[in-house]
Amino acid sequence: MALFGRRTEAPTPLDGVDAVFADLDGVVYAGRGAIPYAVESLNRTKRERAVGYITNNASRSDASVAGHLAELGLDVVPEDVVTSPQAAMLLLEQQVAPGSLVFVVGGEGIVTELEKRGYGVTRAADDGPDAVVQGFDPSVGWRELAEASFALNANGGADAATPGIPWIATNMDWTIPVARGVAPGNGTLVSAVHTAVGRFPVVAGKPETPIFEEARRRFGAERPLVVGDRLDTDILGANRAGMHSAVVLTGIDRAKQLLAADAKSRPDFILGDLRGLHEPYPVTEPIRGGGVKVGDARVRIDGNRVDIVSDGDGGLDLLRAACAAIWQAGIAIHALDVPTRLYA
């Protein structure tokens, strides 16, 4: 792990990487607009290695996503985009026969992938669908969620001996970042159906591994780096898939979430923005008397108190040092006295 290794040099996060898998919302863009430095950094990355875009957002097709990214100035084609509906198709093929009728909750992204593979598409439970695939779309409302519940309960359900037809969710993101702030995501909508049917779907997108394995296969990557803004989806999923990861502080999760990250959700790199992909990443070193040093920042754990010995740059290096010290200590964050300036 980059945060804990003792090195005499400071390579960039891209050293030894043969592909970068970047999340979209909160990493490349917020709403329709590009996040500062994202486009330039990713185009520069693509000059020397593959760049794939992995998104849990199921509302658009790969071609639609690629078109948006191209408008922002990225060098991208539809094949560079790996969507949660594409990962959902891998799960669907394992559960229903070719040409089956599938009930869709969601938009273009799911319908496009189903039609590519010869599945029938319906929005009516009375059509007797063989499976339900659910993904996010801004237009989804109560009627669609209710109809999905009827389809899932038609031949089974919470009180029946059989579980009902297969139910696949593209992802379980509870929230999504948009131009105006943070909004409910697909996980919130899935939970409404879960309440009605009494069971959970199989999930294709982050943090589950199908979407990462599809990206690895498509790009033939052996040493990919996953870049994301969420610990509970991007970073947890990368760790589950055995991939290195970098969290970028331009989206959902910030310093407070990083300091409290559990062992399964900790990134290899902490970046302020995507320029950090190309910059030397500072070494984390132990300091005399306990604690760690990153750059000129020094942090140690004294009992249940997090002590800032030296602020250093007062920014990223201080956060990196604090994360390393807290993570190494193995003490739950709620049991520690953490200085406010580390996360305010």
Are 273 and 246 within 8 A, CB to CB? no
Among residues 334, 342, 340, 241, the alpha carbon closest in space to that of 324 is found at 342
User: For residue 229, what are the contacts with CB-CB under 8 A and spacing of at least 6?
Assistant: 23, 25, 26, 27, 177, 247, 248, 249, 250, 251, 252, 253
Record the tokens describing residue 209, joined without a space: 């591994």
What does DSSP assign to residue 123? S
Q: Catalytic annotation on 253?
A: no
Q: Name which of 6, 41, 33 is nearest 274 in CA terms.
A: 41
Q: Rounded CA gap, 212 and 113, in Å?
A: 17
Point out the catalytic residue in the list 15, 18, 23, 80: 23
Rg of the Cα atoms in the chain: 22
Where on the phi/psi map is residue 291: left (φ > 0), alpha (ψ -120 to 50), or beta?
Answer: left
| Contact in structure between 102 and 119 (CB atoms under 8 Å) | yes
Listed residue (146, 166, 149, 163) closest to 102, CA to CA: 166
Residue bearing tokens 């997108």: 205
Sign of CA dihedral 329, 333, 338, 340: positive
**CA dihedral (74, 33, 113, 90) positive or negative:** positive
Gap between the terminal Cα atoms of the chain: 26
Q: Which DSSP string corresponds to 163-192?
A: --S-EEES---SEEEETTEEEE-HHHHHHH
Catalytic option among 18, 25, 80, 313: 25
Residue 317 annotated among the catalytic residues of the structure? no
Catalytic machinery residues? 23, 25
